[in-house]
Amino acid sequence: MRSFIKESGVKEMHYTPYLFALNGHMQAIVYLIKESILKLRFPLKYEREMFTLSDGGSIALDWVIDHEGGMPRKNS
């Protein structure tokens, strides 16, 4: 870890906050507003594939649909 800190220069880096969110509370509020706007503007379309496991549990995979016609392409 010491070599990483020394070689990367991370110790000399300085954080510059977003102009309209100068503290952690405002950053959280701005993030929530931005995320809400993006979800309204660009809603994700996905299909869920459910699997039942041998122990009786279940898991699901959510496939993002990036084209018309359902399940994702093999090469997408």
Provide the pLDDT for residue 11. 85
pLDDT in tens, 32-63: 999 999 999 988 888 899 999 999 999 999 98
Q: Which range, 3-7, 16-20, 67-71, has the best average confidence (pLDDT)? A: 3-7
Q: Where are the beta strands (DSSP E) in 14-57?
A: 46-52
Q: Residue 5 contacts by C-beta under 8 Å, 6 or more apart in sequence? A: 11
Going by their DSSP bridges, the two strands 58-64 and 46-52 should be labelled as antiparallel
Asked if pLDDT for residue 74 goes beyond 70, the answer is no
- Model pTM? 0.45
Provide the pLDDT for residue 73. 57
